[in-house]
Amino acid sequence: MKIGCPKEIKPQEFRVGLTPQAAREAVAHGHTVIVEAGAGSGAGFPDADYEAAGARIAATAEEVFAEAELIVKVKEPQAVERARLREGQVLFTYLHLAPDPDQTHDLLASGATCIAYETVTDAGGGLPLLAPMSEVAGKLAPQVGAWALQKANGGRGVLLGGVPGVRPARVAVIGGGVVGTHAARVAAGMGAEVTVLDRSLPRLRYLDDVFGRAFQTRYASAAATAELVEASDLVVGAVLIPGAAAPKLVSRAQLSAMKPGAVLVDVAIDQGGCFETSRATTHEDPIYEVDGIVHYCVANMPGAVARTSTQALGNATMPFLLALADKGWRQACADDPHLLNGLNVHAGKLTYAAVGMALGIDVLSPRLALKA
């Protein structure tokens, strides 16, 4: 199979869909790998690394799209990329079609087969191609929170870990899923006093069993959440209700009860945010202040560490990519129902029910698409 990896063209996207490591594995499986010149440079992978892995460097994206049977990317294809897709070609990337009718219509019109990272599942009910980015964002949250707590950034001037004789910062993490667990681990590792709030008792039991005394757990009643938000120097918002906007768990009125200069890091901002006063920010201008409380609400936190994020995403996508290349998409999806869950578009038909519901488009069952 000819696998193609173009350079990402969405603004501020420095990740790349294929690492040199994944390129090497694909070549070892007998596939041809074509990478656009400079595709990996934002993530610190020069063309020479791909060439050493056995890939060929193409001068332009047009060349990659024209030659490849399977295109691997990170972000949803932009309009100019969608125009290059063709019938029979397979696209493997993040798509997020439900809020994006323009992209959906273009992908349907292309005739291509499009498999979305974000809807591929695993045996535990998780989303294995979303989890790595949650792990990255979770581990970043205390790091950016510690920075925002510095006086020059508007924060309280509190050091997360304290020093001998001085109490460490108090950190509340609301939501103990993938983001929350990684945030709590890092904050605790930096020496902060950490409490994780969640509404799932099985999740709280798991955290207690695995992490013991590293951090505390509390059931996320409104009263417990308010009490901890008021007492904390740093609050990390990490809740998710799948398929829904994030619930607003801290109101504007509550800000005045918080410590002046405390910091809110709203990781759930990509789902609308879980603090009433959150609005999405960018890496160029990540923080703002409301009623004396510093807010950090960057919607694509993993972009700050493009190299780590690319490697983490590459590790997670590689087995699926190799299955698609080795067997062809039909057999790979027939053999693996979790990969089949990633099928969103095939030959002009939408194949993912939730997207069809959101956009009012008829859906072909993915099982039938396998035979189409």
Ligand X SMILES: NC(=O)c1ccc[n+]([C@@H]2O[C@H](COP(=O)([O-])OP(=O)(O)OC[C@H]3O[C@@H](n4cnc5c(N)ncnc54)[C@H](O)[C@@H]3O)[C@@H](O)[C@H]2O)c1
Which residues contribute to the site for ligand X (CB under 6 A)?
A: 133-134, 137, 174-180, 197-200, 203, 220, 238-241, 246-247, 249, 267-271, 299-302
Q: How far is the CB of 38 from ligand X (least distance, A)?
A: 25
Question: If we measure between CA atoms, which residue out of 329, 346, 327 comes closest to residue 29?
Answer: 327
Query: DSSP assignment, residue 77?
Result: P
- Shortest gap between Cβ of 167 and ligand X (angstroms)? 26
Strand spans (E) along the chain: 2-5, 32-36, 56-58, 70-72, 90-93, 113-116, 170-174, 193-198, 216-219, 234-237, 263-266, 287-290, 293-296, 343-346, 349-350
- Whether the CB-CB separation of 217 and 176 falls below 8 Å is answered with yes
Structure tokens at 221: 């009643």
d(CA 26, CA 55): 9
Catalytic residue among 47, 49, 96, 338: 96
Question: Minimum Å distance from CB 54 to ligand X?
Answer: 32
Whichever of 23 and 313 has its CB closer to ligand X, that residue is: 313
Taking the C-alpha atoms of residue 55 and residue 58, their distance in angstroms, rounded to an integer, is 10
Q: Are 263 and 158 in contact (CB under 8 A)?
A: no
Structure tokens of 265?
């890091």
Tokens (6 digits) for 86: 């063709």
Task: Tell me whether residue 58 or residue 127 sits nearer to ligand X (CB atom).
Answer: 127
Phi, psi angle pair for 198, to nearest 5°: -150, 160
Q: Which two tokens stand for residue 212?
A: 């013991």
Q: Please state the closest distance from residue 72 (CB atom) to ligand X, in A.
A: 20
Candidate list 106, 198, 233, 270, residue with the active-site label: 270
Report the half-sphere exposure of 58 (CA within 13 A, side-chain side). Answer: 20
Q: Note if 96 is an active site residue.
A: yes
Per-residue tokens: 60: 């332009």
282 vs 331, beta carbon nearer ligand X: 282
Residue 338 annotated to the active site:
no
Which one, 40 or 177, has the nearer CB to ligand X? 177
Residue 209 CB burial class (10 angstroms; 0-12, 13-18, ≥19): exposed
Q: Which amino acid is at 238?
A: A
Give 89 or 134: the residue with its C-beta nearer to ligand X. 134
- Residue at shortest CB range from ligand X: 177
**Distances in whole angstroms, Cα of residue 215 to Cα of each of 162, 208, 232:** 16, 8, 14
Q: Which is nearer to ligand X, 108 or 172 (CB)?
A: 172
In angstroms, what is the minimal distance from the CB of 141 to ligand X? 9
Q: Tokens 């398929």 correspond to what residue?
A: 243
The residue among 312 and 333 lying less far from ligand X, judged by its C-beta, is 312
Alpha carbons 222 and 75: distance in angstroms, whole number: 36
Other CB atoms within 10 A of residue 148 CB: 23
Whichever of 133 and 325 has its CB closer to ligand X, that residue is 133
CB of 220 to ligand X, least distance (A): 4
What is the pairing mode between strands 293-296 and 343-346? unpaired
CA atoms of 48 and 4, how far apart (whole Å): 16
> Considering the complex, what minimum distance in angstroms separates the CB of residue 59 from ligand X?
33
Q: What are phi and psi of 100, to 5 degrees?
A: -135, 75
Query: Would you name the residues annotated as active-site residues?
Result: 96, 270
